[in-house]
Copies of this chain bind each other. A is one copy, B any other.
């Protein structure tokens, strides 16, 4: 693709020779002839002088570069879009494979692909242009929107609704039973039937081997544009807002509410029934044990404001020293009191 053409597609300002042909994309240090590259962080600015890339995407304010450059307000976004242009995802439209098993009353929109060895229960609905890879299960009455991508071996149980342009990665389970029991007089657990469903809104992405439980009553909800990484657990009746990012191995307990534009870093735990306000950030491995107001930035288990956490972590190694100092001070005090005949009331 000619650089000038790409500049137009990405809405970037072209500086230099637009007739250059770009055929691939790579990091600024590995880039070779024909590659388009990009620099976001200023620490890579020195590479601009020496890169072998055919062209580079940079911010408007980046230093000049001997190679042709595409200048933009958001070089990372331009890089992402360049990737989609140079490596367009070809999703084969393969129709309904003869080995797929479809229950009565299944409704498929135009251009739907159903892979080999899939099972779609009674009255499942699949929106137009959606691709379902092999060996997927969709339970009775569940609805999948338009232009979704459902990767191999996903399980979507009955009573689940997915919006449009949703992506679900391999091995994910949507609609498993919530974990709820009532204890009887003998200390045994009686299973609380989980009769609710799951609603996943448009443009959500769900990682590999994620588990999302159905609600006890009502719905477990994932808001529009939210992105969920691999091996995340979302319990029954959890409600997650829009454009929220949930990194791998996070666990969110029952009925918790997570706001819009929140970031939960890897391995975070959120206890049941708490609320995390919009635009909050929770650092990795933290444990959210109580509700957080909007724009919180917390860390630790239990999670506390990030600045406090940092100061505590830095001061922890001083405890050992502290203990010694204190003991010395007590000695000095003791000696002084003895000698000076100070107050005799000692504890």
Contact with B along A261-290 (1 / 0, CB 8 A): 100001101010000000000001101010
Cβ of B326 and Cβ of A315 under 8 Å apart?
A: no
Cβ of B326 and Cβ of A336 under 8 Å apart?
A: no
Tell me, yes or no, whether A130 is within 8 Å of chain B by CB. Answer: no
Cβ of B329 and Cβ of A181 under 8 Å apart?
A: no
CA of A340 to CA of B340, assembled, Å: 8
Cβ of A217 and Cβ of B27 under 8 Å apart?
A: yes
CA of A307 to CA of B31, assembled, Å: 43
* Residues of the B chain whose Cβ atoms lie less than 8 Å from the Cβ of A230: 173, 176, 179, 211, 213, 233
Listed by A's residue number, 16 A-B pairs whose Cβ atoms lie within 8 Å are A101-B134, A151-B157, A173-B208, A179-B227, A179-B229, A179-B248, A187-B261, A189-B243, A191-B205, A211-B231, A211-B248, A230-B233, A249-B249, A284-B287, A312-B316, A333-B333
Cβ of A335 and Cβ of B329 under 8 Å apart?
A: no
Copies in the complex: 3
Cβ of B285 and Cβ of A269 under 8 Å apart?
A: yes
Most buried by B among A30, A176, A320: A176
Contact with B along A209-246 (1 / 0, CB 8 A): 10101001110000001010111010100000001010
Tell me, yes or no, whether A84 is within 8 Å of chain B by CB. Answer: yes
Tell me, yes or no, whether A113 is within 8 Å of chain B by CB. Answer: no
List the 9 closest A-B pairs by CB distance, nearest first. Answer: A176-B208, A80-B182, A77-B182, A211-B230, A155-B170, A137-B152, A173-B208, A80-B192, A208-B211
* Residues of the B chain whose Cβ atoms lie less than 8 Å from the Cβ of A312: 316-317, 319-320
**Interface SS of A by simple majority:** loop
Cβ of B332 and Cβ of A333 under 8 Å apart?
A: yes
Nearest CB in chain B to that of A311: its residue: B320
Nearest CB in chain B to that of A210: its residue: B209
Q: How many residues of A contact B (CB 8 A)?
A: 117
Given contacts A83-B193, A284-B287, A285-B301, contact A326 B322 (CB under 8 A): yes
Tell me, yes or no, whether A153 is within 8 Å of chain B by CB. Answer: yes
Tell me, yes or no, whether A161 is within 8 Å of chain B by CB. Answer: no
Most buried by B among A89, A135, A157: A135
Most buried by B among A89, A157, A191, A346: A191
Tell me, yes or no, whether A50 is within 8 Å of chain B by CB. Answer: no
CA of A322 to CA of B161, assembled, Å: 55
With A171-B173, A322-B323 given, name 17 new contacts (CB 8 A).
A76-B183, A77-B183, A81-B182, A83-B192, A83-B193, A83-B217, A119-B134, A170-B176, A171-B209, A179-B230, A179-B247, A181-B227, A211-B231, A247-B253, A248-B253, A301-B301, A340-B342
Tell me, yes or no, whether A68 is within 8 Å of chain B by CB. Answer: no
Tell me, yes or no, whether A337 is within 8 Å of chain B by CB. Answer: yes
Cβ of B179 and Cβ of A84 under 8 Å apart?
A: no
Q: Which of B209, B266, B340 lies in contact with A269, CB distance below 8 A?
A: B266
Q: Which of B152, B177, B180 lies in contact with A155, CB distance below 8 A?
A: B152
Tell me, yes or no, whether A74 is within 8 Å of chain B by CB. Answer: yes
Cβ of B325 and Cβ of A330 under 8 Å apart?
A: yes
- A173–chain B nearest beta-carbon distance, Å: 4
